[in-house]
A and B are shown apart, each in its own frame.
Chain A
Amino acid sequence: MKEYTYTEKKDTRSGFGDGLTELGRTNPNVVALCADLVGSLKMQDFIDENPERFFQVGIAEANMMGIAAGLTIGGKIPFTGTFANFSTGRVYDQIRQSIAYSHKNVKICASHAGLTLGEDGATHQILEDIGLMKMLPGMVVINPCDYNQTKAATIAIAEYEGPVYLRFGRPKVPVFTPNDQQFEIGKAIQLQKGSDVTIVATGHLVWEALEAVKELYKEGIQADVINIHTIKPLDENAILKSIKKTGCIVTTEEHNIYGGLGESVARLLSTNDPTPQEFVGTNDTFGESGTPDQLMKKYGIDKDAIIKAVKKVIARKNK
Chain B
Amino acid sequence: MEVKKLEDLVFQTRRDIVRMVHKVSSGHPGGSLGCTEFFVALYHEIMNINTDFNMDGINEDLFFLSNGHISPVFYSVLARRGYFPVEELNTFRLLNSRLQGHPTTHEGLPGIRIASGSLGQGMSVAIGAAQAKKLNDDSSLVFSLHGDGELQEGQNWEAIMYASAKKVDNLIATVDYNGQQIDGSTAQVLSLGNLEEKFTAFGWEVINIKEGNNISEVVKGLTKAKERSGNGKPICVLLHTIMGNGIDFMMHTHAWHGKAPNDEQLETSLEQNPETLGDY
Chain A, 46-63, contact with B by CB distance < 8 Å: what is the 0/1 string? 000000110101101011
A73 to B161, CA, bound (A): 22
Chain A, 28-65, contact with B by CB distance < 8 Å: what is the 0/1 string? 00010000000000000000000011010110101111
Partner-binding segment picked from A95-103, A152-160, A195-203? A95-103
Interface footprint category on B: 35 or more
Q: Are B130 and A70 in contact (CB under 8 A)?
A: yes
A60 to B138, CA, bound (A): 27
Chain B, 193-228, contact with A by CB distance < 8 Å: what is the 0/1 string? 000000000000000000000000000000000000
Q: Smallest CB–CB gap between B222 and chain A, Å?
A: 21
Interface core residue of B115, B128, B130 (most chain A CB under 10 Å): B128
Q: Are A70 and B135 in contact (CB under 8 A)?
A: no
Q: Are A70 and B159 in contact (CB under 8 A)?
A: no
Given contacts A63-B159, A66-B159, A75-B136, contact A102 B114 (CB under 8 A): yes
Q: Are B57 and A55 in contact (CB under 8 A)?
A: no
A180 to B135, CA, bound (A): 32
- Chain B residues, Cβ within 8 Å of A97: 115-118, 121
Q: Are A94 and B132 in contact (CB under 8 A)?
A: no
Q: Are B125 and A98 in contact (CB under 8 A)?
A: yes
User: CB of A69 within 8 A of chain B?
Assistant: yes
Q: Are A66 and B124 in contact (CB under 8 A)?
A: yes
Q: 8 Å CB contacts to B: which residues of A142-191?
A: none
- Chain B residues, Cβ within 8 Å of A62: 120-121, 124, 154-155, 158
In the assembled complex, 22 residue pairs joining A and B whose CB atoms fall closer than 8 Å, in A order, are A58-B162, A60-B158, A62-B154, A62-B158, A63-B127, A63-B158, A63-B162, A66-B123, A70-B130, A73-B56, A73-B57, A73-B128, A73-B129, A74-B135, A76-B135, A78-B128, A97-B117, A97-B118, A98-B124, A102-B106, A102-B115, A103-B105
On A, residues with C-beta under 8 Å from B are 31, 52-53, 55, 57-58, 60, 62-76, 78, 93-94, 96-98, 101-104
On B, residues with C-beta under 8 Å from A are 55-58, 62, 64, 104-106, 113-118, 120-133, 135-136, 138, 154-155, 158-159, 161-162, 165-166
List 5 additional A-B contacts (Cβ < 8 Å) besides A66-B122, A71-B129: A65-B124, A73-B128, A76-B135, A97-B118, A97-B121
